Structure formats: C-alpha cells, structure tokens
Structure 1
Amino acid sequence: MDAKTRKVAIIQHRLLHYRLGLFEQLRSACATLNIELALIHGDATPTESVRQDTGELAWATKVRNRHWRVGGRDLLWQPISGVVQQADLVVLMQESRILSNYPWLFGRGPRQTRVAYWGHGRNFQSNSPTGLLERWKRRTLTSVDWWFAYTDITAAIVRDANFPQERITVLNNAIDNRSFAADLASVSDAEIAALRASIDASENAVVGLFCGSLYADKRLHMMLESCRRVVNRHPDFRLVVLGDGPSRRDLQPAMGKPWFHWAGTQRGKEKAAWFKAANLLINPGAVGLHILDSFAAEIPLLTTKDAKHGPEISYLEDGISGIVTEGTVEAFASAIQQLIDQPERRASLGRQARTKAQSYTLDAMVESFVSGMDACLRMPRLH
C-alpha cells in the first residue's frame, strides 16, 4: 500500500438500497485522489426491518449492531472501533440514538483521526423540536472536525451553531438519477397501458402516485381522505401506493375501493413503470429524496408546507416545479382537483420539475463528497 494513501471510513447504521450507487461511485472517485474508502455498516433494527430497504456491497464491512428499544425509541451500539483504528477520517451519521458515536465526538478515538458528521443538522421529524433530545443534538453539532451537510438548509443550521463555514461541505443529497432515468426510458407504451388497465384507469384518467416508506409522518390518513374527496368530483381518479412500513395498516380504510391500489415495495423498472403510468406524485407528509423521482419522471409533486420534511424540500419551488399547500385536507384535495382540471398547468409543472433533475445528481454529490474529504484531510484537526 502506498505510504501516502489516506484512509477514510464511512459508518452507516444500516446500508440503504438507494445508497449503493453512491458508495460505488464514491469508492472509485476516492481512489483517484489516493484515498482508500472503507464502508462499515450494521443491520436494520426490528422496527426498521419491515421497510425492506436495505442492500449489500461485497466490499463493505458488516458489523453486528446491538440495539435496545427504550421509551419507543431504538438505541444502537455499533462495534466499529476495531475496524477503523487506522482511519485518517471517520464519517459518522448524525443520529443521537447511535451511542457508539459518542466516544468519537468526545475525543476518545485515535488522536490522529479526524471526525466528520454527515446529516441533517437537526431532526426534521421531531415532535419536540425544543425538547431535550434536540437540545442535545445541537450541543454536539460542533463536536466534529468537518460537516457534510445534506443541503443548504443543513449548512445554515450548522453555521448558526458557530461551526466554521470553511469546514462545511454541502452535498446536495441525491440518488442515482441516471439509473432511474434509464428505467423510465425502458418502459414501453404497452406496459404503461397494461398497468393503467390493471387499476381500471381510463385513457384520460389522472393517476396519483405515492412512493415511499409508510410511517406516521407521511400523513396517510390525510392522503386517503383528500383522494376520497377528489374521487367524489372525479370518479375516474386513481391512487396507487408504492412502499411498505409500520403504518401500512393506515391504508386499510381504502383497501378494496375501486380508486385505490396498494402495490407494495417496488424497485427498478417496476417502480419506474408506475411513475410512467402516473400523472401526479402525491405526498401530504414528509418529503425527502423521493422529490428527485418527481423531477426525473417529469410529474409534479404535491405536498403540504407544515409537514416534517427532510432538508431536500429546499429543492421544490412552489408553483414552479411542484405544489405546496396548507396542511389541511381541504387545501390538499383542492390542489389535486385543480391539476386534474388543468392538464396544461400539470404538464408545465412536470417540465419545470424535469429541468430540476439536472441540478441534483449523484455525480455532483460524489464530486462534492470527495472534494470535502480531501479538504478535511489537508486541514488540521479542529478539536
């Protein structure tokens, strides 16, 4: 091994399937700068396993997480110290529930190892944003040598905590748009027609699509009630739900209704086919990375302004690349109805969304990530 090779270890508490492309590209890009990238991950907790959202990489190191359920919250310990002792930089997930982070945050790791956070800056889904857990998270915001911020929103949170601007890298969190775009392009008109026929959608019917994990912050009850009202005015409207999760039972009131179809977890071309068959992406609750699916598929996303969105909501421009309504059933249902009644506006929003897809790409995220690693490794430790 070249003596000048620098070693970076990224720690993930579980390896999410939509991150596989990122880590593959990141590993290759690191090699061009003489950085050896290690990826260490554990497995999903019993609470998370229902989402079926994990993947595997042959070159990654898997450790056995220890986890406990305390007060309705998962606490984790990852035995990582033995596999990252020689790292020049350790990149941790910014999650206060990961107990194994704290020795690194409080200076108990190797003295030569820089420590970075990769995260949101705060818990955007917290029910108590001023509570003890969020105050603790703010307390540890500046306990690292570098920050890999999801978006500009995260960077602003970190700067407000008096963390040095020059030690923040904005990643503009993204997924592999190229893979999804290729899947979209591979879907034939016949396949689209067959899917729409399978849900009894007429040729001119508008199909709404929800895609994502099913949990409380997605506001599934609001979505179903809004769509029920839309069906009263537009009987040919259809709603398709892709995904699974602990709140699947919230879909039960709509099961068996002619306007509703639950397709479960879909990936690859199967997922892309549903996006091609749909006209609107509907999510009144928390919006995260799936906003990029909207952009790539050229269908507008509708959501609400007071939902517990991830920092990726900054990518959406209300009235330009999507729609953001007040957080009521009436407002959300009305927005859906308006786009059903205004196909030209719907198409315009879709075109604007498509232009956004070029701004938030995996290539750009990888470039920023590697550039930030290189900069961090060239600077002295902050703590």
Structure 2
Amino acid sequence: MINKNVKNDFPSVLFVQRRLPHYRVPFFEALKRELFARGCHLRVLHGLPNKEELLKNDSGVLPWAENLPNHYFLGGKICWQPFYAQSRGADLVICSHENKLVFNLVFQYFYTKIKFALLGHGANLQGNINSLREKFKRRAAKKADWWFAYTSMSLPLITGFGFPDNRITIVNNSIDTNELSLHFNAIDDIEAIKRRLGLAGNSIGVFIGSFYNEKRIDFLLKSLVLIKEKIPDFEMILAGDGIDRHLVEAFCAEHSWAKYVGLVKGMAKAEILAVADLMLNPGLVGLSILDSFVCATPMLTTDCGLHSPEVVYLNHGVNGIFSKNTLPDYSAAVVNLFNNADKLAEMKVACLQSSRYFNVENMAKNFADGIMECLNMPAYRKEH
C-alpha cells in the first residue's frame, strides 16, 4: 500500500499549501518530527500569496520547504498551482479544501495512483450553504482518500457529504502558543502593568483581535456600558486594528475606563491578558480561544452563529461562557461571572487544563496518526 521508491525506503508525504503563513511554521516543524519518529518523510510545498494577502505581511519561512509557482486569475479568486511533477514518488498528497485551488481537482479526479487527502472545515461556516460554490465544494470533497478535519464541528459536515467517518481524522486545529505562555509565566508584577495602563479597578475585561463586522464591535461596546452600570470598578482594554477602529477610538475617548492600546504582540499581549479577568468577544471566535486558555483568561461569547470551528474548544460553564445573542443576556453573563469569584477561579484553572490539550504539538501528533492510518489503508477514490 506504500510506495517505497523514495530515499531510505521511507513512505513520503507531500503537504501542499497555497501559501505559508508564519503561524503554520511551528506546526510543520512539529509534524516533520512526528512523522520522522514514525519512519515517514514529510515534504512541504507552498506558493506565494496574492496581492491582497501580501498586504497582511504574514508570510512565514520554512528553510526546508519547496516553492511552487502560483498563477492567480479573476483577481485572486482562482489559483492554478500545479504540483504533479513534485508528487512523483509520493505515497500521499495533502491539500487544503478550497474552491480556488483548481489543480487539486485535476489531481483528485484523474491521478488516483497516489493517495490524496483534504484538510479543512468541511464548509464555509460564514457562507451560504445553498450557493453553487458550496454545493460544488461538497461534491469535490468526496473525491479524497482521507480527510483531516480541523475540529469535531467539522466531522458531521464531512460525513454529511457521504464520506466515511473511519477515514476522517480530527486534528484539533491549533497554533503555537509557547511564546505567549513563556511571556505570561514570566510576569511577576501585575500592579505595575495596571499602573502603566492607567487601570485601577479589580474587574477588568479585554478584547484582542481585528475590528471588523463579524467581530461585532458595536455590540461589544454597547455591552460594556451595561456592564459598567452593574460593576462600578469595571474597566476594559481593547487591542487590535481594522475597519471599525474608529468606533473603538471614539468609545475610549468618551469613556475613560476603556483603554485602546493598538496592536499588541509578544510580551505586550501577555501583559494585558495577565491583568484582565475575562476575554470579551461576542462576535466571531476562532483560534483566539487558545490565548484565553494559555493565559487563564476565560472567554465569554454569544451563540451568534458566526464562529469558526475552533469555538468548539469552549466548554460552556467550564472554560468559558456562551450566552444568548442579546445585549442583556451577554452583559448579564459577564456581570454574573465578575460577581462569582469562586466560579471565575475554577474557570481559570480549566483554561490552563485546556491549553495542555489544544496546542500545536498535539495537533501534529493527531495529524501524524491520521497520516499513518491513511497510508496503511486501501485507497478510497478508486472505488467511489
């Protein structure tokens, strides 16, 4: 079942990425180590981002990765990224489940001698499931020998296509939080940080992220006013940037107890999470939940229906809170937790426990386990 025509007789896995964001570099390093320990060779191929993505300045460097030519069409909506020549001798090719990657379709439908796996959510959770685009995506999703699902939320979406669940690996999508953890654990003077930020209260919330529509910044700011009415010493830190920054700046200019600190990274990010008691994010929640876990700062969100699959890591009432999607319900949930010191302490402990489970090292282990299972099972596409 395994192609042995590679160096050292190691089975060879080819992981193709349209582009390489910096936050994926630690994962690939960890996956390479995991696969090497299992007697398997990993190659990573990636291309360059489109013009819009270049502005993000978030590309990573992986010295042993190989470059691929990307050809973008229709303003970046279509990407031709051929990798057939590089796939020769591989036992398994892994690609992301994206409609724009049209060469994937050629490989999925016509190159069945090499096993092919997809990585993804199973659907665009912010998209229209009845659109032609999503219907086509579901049809193409069945043309794989294996699936790597980002989270448990993805599992029913993928099996809903008719794909067998015994060929799906849940990887628990994560990013590297080791640096944030080191910074957080090195902090020893919380009061000094509070003084520097101009904070004096003992009930502090924080928002860290991008200011755009799905984050529901207007909802967040309105909820802060309701929280302040019930908790007089409540203060709020807002960190980030985006198209709705003007709303945040205007709010902080009007309310002295709300502090806008701009973009934060590294130690600055760890410091504001260290002084905060709660992370407040009523809109889209994704991988930022990992910051909540590492820094023992429980997150409170709503059942707004905008979330990424990683929101399933939030266990309501244990390491975070889901409230109903109304201003009174959300603000009441925040107030209740601020007023329950014992419950808040329990949730902080649960956050740290979650951080030991949801991390990039475990994601790499899960991925490696799935790869080995795929290599040792018969191909699926040839018969379906």
What is the TM-score of this pair, normalised by structure 2?
0.88
Partners of 1:236 and 1:46 lie apart in 2 by 46
Whether the aligned pair in 2 keeps the contact of 1:11 and 1:40 (CA below 8 Å) is: yes
Alignment of 1:1-383 (within 5 A): 2-68=7-73, 74-107=77-110, 109=111, 111-126=112-127, 128-189=128-189, 192-202=190-200, 204-234=201-231, 236-257=233-254, 258-383=256-381
Which stretch of the first structure deviates more once superposed, 241-250 or 355-364? 241-250
Partners of 1:244 and 1:92 lie apart in 2 by 31
Which stretch of the first structure deviates more once superposed, 45-54 or 167-176? 45-54
Partner amino acid, structure 2, of 1:377: L
Partners of 1:51 and 1:207 lie apart in 2 by 30
Partners of 1:62 and 1:235 lie apart in 2 by 56
Q: Which runs of 5+ in 1 are unaligned?
A: none
Q: 1:161 to 1:239 in 2, by over 3 A?
A: same
Partners of 2:202 and 2:228 lie apart in 1 by 11
Whether the aligned pair in 1 keeps the contact of 2:105 and 2:140 (CA below 8 Å) is: no
Which stretch of the first structure deviates more once superposed, 242-251 or 9-18? 242-251
Partners of 1:100 and 1:313 lie apart in 2 by 31
Give the secondary structure class of the aligned counterpart of 1:140. helix
Partner amino acid, structure 1, of 2:206: L
How much has 1:246 moved relative to structure 2?
A: 4.9
Whether the aligned pair in 1 keeps the contact of 2:249 and 2:260 (CA below 8 Å) is: no
Give the secondary structure class of the aligned counterpart of 1:299. coil
Q: 1:149 to 1:297 in 2, by over 3 A?
A: same
Partner amino acid, structure 1, of 2:269: K
Whether the aligned pair in 2 keeps the contact of 1:199 and 1:238 (CA below 8 Å) is: no
How much has 1:252 moved relative to structure 2?
A: 4.4
What does the per-residue CA deviation read over 1:301-324, in whole Å, with 9 as the maximum and x for residues that have no partner? Answer: 100112311222222121222111
Q: Which runs of 5+ in 2 are unaligned?
A: 1-5
How much has 1:369 moved relative to structure 2?
A: 0.8
Give the secondary structure class of the aligned counterpart of 2:253. coil
How much has 1:326 moved relative to structure 2?
A: 1.3
How much has 1:147 moved relative to structure 2?
A: 0.4
Q: 1:52 to 1:345 in 2, by over 3 A?
A: farther
Q: 1:99 to 1:280 in 2, by over 3 A?
A: same
Which stretch of the first structure deviates more once superposed, 160-169 or 248-257? 248-257
Q: 1:328 to 1:75 in 2, by over 3 A?
A: farther
Partners of 1:199 and 1:367 lie apart in 2 by 40
Which stretch of the first structure deviates more once superposed, 171-180 or 319-328? 171-180
Partners of 1:167 and 1:380 lie apart in 2 by 11
Partners of 2:89 and 2:262 lie apart in 1 by 43
What does the per-residue CA deviation read over 1:176-199, in whole Å, with 9 as the maximum and x for residues that have no partner? Answer: 34443222111221xx33432233
Whether the aligned pair in 2 keeps the contact of 1:148 and 1:369 (CA below 8 Å) is: yes
Whether the aligned pair in 2 keeps the contact of 1:65 and 1:76 (CA below 8 Å) is: yes
Residue-pair matches, total: 375
Partners of 2:249 and 2:294 lie apart in 1 by 30
What does the per-residue CA deviation read over 1:17-55, in whole Å, with 9 as the maximum and x for residues that have no partner? Answer: 322211111111111223221112233434444544432
Q: 1:244 to 1:27 in 2, by over 3 A?
A: farther
Whether the aligned pair in 2 keeps the contact of 1:88 and 1:113 (CA below 8 Å) is: yes
Partners of 2:301 and 2:379 lie apart in 1 by 42
Whether the aligned pair in 2 keeps the contact of 1:12 and 1:39 (CA below 8 Å) is: yes
Q: Which residue of 1 aligns with 2:3?
A: none
Give the secondary structure class of the aligned counterpart of 1:76. strand
Partner amino acid, structure 1, of 2:199: A
Whether the aligned pair in 2 keeps the contact of 1:325 and 1:331 (CA below 8 Å) is: yes
Partners of 2:257 and 2:100 lie apart in 1 by 40
Partner amino acid, structure 1, of 2:100: R
Q: 1:357 to 1:3 in 2, by over 3 A?
A: closer
Whether the aligned pair in 2 keeps the contact of 1:7 and 1:36 (CA below 8 Å) is: yes
Partners of 1:153 and 1:184 lie apart in 2 by 30
Partner amino acid, structure 2, of 1:120: H
Give the secondary structure class of the aligned counterpart of 1:157. helix
What does the per-residue CA deviation read over 1:50-76, in whole Å, with 9 as the maximum and x for residues that have no partner? Answer: 544432222222345333456xx8443
Which stretch of the first structure deviates more once superposed, 349-358 or 238-247? 238-247
Partners of 1:332 and 1:340 lie apart in 2 by 13
- The ranges of structure 1 where at least 4 consecutive aligned residues each deviate by more than 6 angstroms after the TM superposition are none
Percent identity reads 31
Whether the aligned pair in 2 keeps the contact of 1:125 and 1:217 (CA below 8 Å) is: no
Whether the aligned pair in 2 keeps the contact of 1:13 and 1:43 (CA below 8 Å) is: yes
How much has 1:79 moved relative to structure 2?
A: 4.2
What is the TM-score of this pair, normalised by structure 1?
0.88
